[in-house]
């Protein structure tokens, strides 16, 4: 029976020869992820049902990243709950202040996800790891608790959409522009509970950071997961970061897809998602004068070293417009250190930006950049819902690091 890439990974982990869309299965997990917001709920569920030990202390990862360093008493208590649980359970992959990072940048960097893995995480952007040829998806905290105890989870096998990338992108067109363009075309419900499988001759022009960004935002189209097949780019990344032997799966030539979306990368332009949905996209040449109050460069979507380099290349020798608060957040300690060694941190500070420790912070309206009433922000984050970053009548414009940095200099949305 012909299967898509995602279906093959699920079948292998369920111990089945084949699966079909809509089929309910129970599958073995390679990793279970939680953070400082979602993990305490899972811990309390475990305690409420008599406790128990995690199925494998090396296959559970707890990352303190949303409100860390703690911003108030409540966030401190949440992290204390996680710290106690990690200590009691002997969890090997516990990341706290000084060694933590934004979870979806940290786990690939640490080599905790490999090609062909099946990963669940109590965070909707767990779909990021599809960039590595894995099936990864977000779940609720109760499913996380069950996964931690049993090493299994149930799935409804998704149907799939084939996204064919063709051509070569122009300068300053990145993975962020690709995924914003796709969401703009199919809408925030266009891939509801489906796999987005990225294929085509244009894939070779997508760096690993581009792919991580694209898969990260698959959920913004409603997708269950996003995935790239393992290729030379994947293998090179895994060789550097991951000691696991890759399990390489490929879609059958006659696999069935619900639809095919073709994206000519050579025709794309830097793209911005206007409030209050990621599907509300416009290219930079369609934007009028929209003055801004803040720029945020970071998050699990665009806080990697290539993102910081792109922003620094714009800001080098320039100053951000007076009155535009510009916040740069390296996604992990390793990225922070590399940016420091390359002189990027100096560039940001000399340009008038501030640089934060790794944290999700402003992306979810947590801290480190909350918006007041009526303020506008260009952010390299993944969501621009009403009130996402602060006041309900504030506005978030999603963009690439290049567009965000240009906008910081201009004081309005645009490119130099």
- Kindly state whether residues 311 and 203 are assigned to the same domain: no
The alpha helices in 245-318, defined as continuous H runs, are 299-302, 305-315
Q: 43-57, 173-187, 316-330: which has the minimum mean pLDDT? A: 43-57
Identify the bridge partners of residue 259 per DSSP, sorted by sequence position: 161
Quick count: other Cβ atoms within 10 Å of Cβ 276?
15
Quick one: average pLDDT of 280-306? Answer: 96
Residue (of 33, 11, 5, 294) closest to 162 by Cα position: 5
Total domains in the chain come to: 2
Query: What percentage of the chain exceeds 70 in pLDDT?
Result: 100
Whether residue 204 is predicted with pLDDT greater than 90 in this model: the reply is yes
Residues 6+ apart with CB under 8 A from 209: 175, 304, 305, 306, 307
Return the pLDDT at 41: 96
240: tokens are 């550097």
Kindly report the number of other CB atoms within 10 A of residue 233's CB atom: 18
pLDDT for res 377: 98
Q: Is residue 220 part of a domain?
A: yes
Among the candidates 246, 263, 280, a domain finishes at 263
Average confidence score pLDDT of the chain? 96
**Does 381 fall in a domain?**
yes
Same domain, 206 and 287: no
Could you give the 3-state DSSP secondary structure of residue 290? coil
- pLDDT tens track for 317-331: 999 999 999 999 999
319 inside domain? yes
240 and 316 together in one domain: no
* Final residue in a domain of this structure, among 219, 240, 263: 263
87 occurs within a structural domain: yes
Strand, helix or coil for residue 303: coil
Domain co-membership, 321 together with 341: yes
**Which of 219, 241, 263 delimits the end of a domain?**
263
In this structure, what DSSP letter does residue 390 have? Answer: B
Contact at 8 Å (CB) between 396 and 363? no
Model confidence at 1, pLDDT cuts 50, 70, 90, reads: confident
Nearest to 115 by CA among 243, 297, 278: 243
| Per-residue model confidence (pLDDT) at position 288 | 87
Residues 146 and 206 both lie in one domain: yes
Question: Rounded mean pLDDT of 193-201?
Answer: 97
Domain that holds residue 406: 272-410
- State the burial class of residue 185 (Cβ atoms within 10 Å of its Cβ: 0-12, 13-18, 19+): middle
Entry pTM:
0.96
Give the pLDDT band of residue 54 (cuts 50, 70, 90): very high
pLDDT single digits (tens) 120-172: 999 999 999 999 999 999 999 999 999 999 999 999 999 999 999 999 999 99
pLDDT value, residue 26:
98
pLDDT attached to residue 356 = 95
Measured in whole angstroms, how far is the alpha carbon of residue 340 from the centre of its chain? 23
127 token code pair? 């779909």
Q: Which residue has 């290729």 as its token pair?
A: 231
Whether the bond between 114 and the residue before it is cis, its omega within 30 degrees of 0, is: no
Shared-domain flag, residues 231 and 280? no
What kind and span of H or E run contains 338?
A: helix 333-341
Tokens coding 158: 């998704």
Asked whether residue 135 is domain-assigned, the answer is yes
Q: How many whole angstroms separate alpha carbon 265 and alpha carbon 167?
A: 5
Residue 275's alpha-carbon distances to 279, 383, 393, 396, in angstroms, are 9, 9, 10, 6
Give yes or no: residues 329 and 214 share one domain: no
Q: Would residue 415 count as lying in a domain?
A: no
Three-state SS at 39: helix
Give dist(CA 366, CA 302) in Å, integer. 18
Are residues 45 and 107 located together in one domain of the fold?
A: yes
CATH number at residue 218: 3.30.499.10
| Residues 93 and 164 reside in one and the same domain | yes
- In the DSSP assignment, the letter for residue 367 is S
So what's the pLDDT on residue 349? 98
Do 51 and 186 share a domain, yes or no? yes
Angstrom distances, CA of residue 282 to CA of 78, 178, 413: 39, 12, 11
Question: C-alpha distances in angstroms, 289 versus 122, 184, 326, 413, 414?
Answer: 39, 21, 19, 7, 8
Residue 416 lies in a domain: no
68 within a domain of the structure (yes/no): yes
The Cα–Cα gap between 110 and 241 comes to 6
Asked if residue 100 has pLDDT above 90, the reply is no
- Same domain assignment for residues 240 and 278: no
- Give the model confidence (pLDDT) of 305-355 as tens digits: 999 999 999 999 999 999 999 999 999 999 999 999 999 999 999 999 999
Q: Do 313 and 373 have their domain in common?
A: yes
Tokens, residue 239? 């060789």
> Which segments of 19-121 does DSSP mark as H helices, in order?
39-48, 73-89, 103-109
């Amino acid at each position: 029976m012909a299967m898509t890439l995602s279906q093959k990974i699920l079948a292998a982990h369920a111990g089945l020869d084949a699966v079909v869309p809509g089929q309910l299965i129970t599958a073995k997990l390679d990793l279970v992820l939680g953070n400082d917001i979602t993990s305490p709920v899972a811990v309390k569920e475990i305690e409420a049902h008599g406790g128990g030990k995690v199925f494998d202390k090396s296959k559970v990862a707890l990352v303190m990243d949303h409100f860390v360093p703690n911003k108030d008493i409540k966030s401190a208590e949440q992290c204390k709950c996680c710290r106690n649980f990690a200590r009691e359970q002997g969890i090997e992959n516990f990341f706290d202040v000084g060694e933590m990072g934004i979870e979806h940048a940290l786990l690939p960097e640490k080599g905790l996800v490999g090609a062909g893995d099946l990963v669940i995480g109590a965070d909707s952007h767990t779909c990021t790891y599809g960039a590595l040829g894995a099936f990864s998806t977000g779940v609720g905290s109760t499913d996380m608790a069950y996964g931690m105890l049993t090493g299994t989870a149930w799935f409804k096998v998704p149907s799939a959409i084939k996204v064919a990338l063709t051509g070569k992108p122009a300068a300053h067109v990145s993975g962020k522009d690709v995924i914003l363009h796709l969401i703009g075309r199919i809408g925030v419900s266009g891939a509801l509970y489906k796999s987005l499988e990225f294929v085509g001759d244009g894939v070779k022009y997508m760096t690993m950071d581009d792919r991580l960004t694209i898969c990260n935002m698959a959920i913004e189209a409603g997708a269950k997961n996003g995935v790239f097949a393992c290729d030379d780019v994947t293998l090179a990344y895994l060789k550097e970061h991951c000691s696991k032997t890759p399990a390489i799966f490929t879609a059958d030539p006659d696999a069935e897809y619900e639809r095919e979306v073709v994206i000519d990368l050579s025709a794309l332009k830097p793209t911005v998602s206007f409030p209050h949905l990621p599907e509300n996209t416009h290219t930079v040449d369609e934007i009028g004068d929209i003055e801004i109050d803040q720029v945020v460069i970071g998050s699990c979507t665009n806080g990697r070293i290539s993102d910081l380099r792109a922003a620094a290349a714009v800001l080098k020798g320039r100053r951000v417009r007076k009155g535009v608060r510009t916040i740069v957040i390296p996604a992990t300690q390793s990225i922070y250190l590399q940016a420091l060694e390359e002189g990027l941190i100096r560039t940001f500070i000399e340009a008038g930006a501030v640089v934060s420790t790794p944290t999700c912070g402003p992306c979810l309206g947590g801290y480190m950049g909350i918006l007041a009433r009526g303020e506008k922000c260009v952010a390299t984050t993944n969501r621009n819902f009403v009130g996402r970053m602060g006041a309900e009548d504030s506005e978030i414009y999603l963009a690439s690091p290049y567009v965000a940095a240009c906008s910081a200099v201009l004081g309005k949305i645009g490119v130099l």
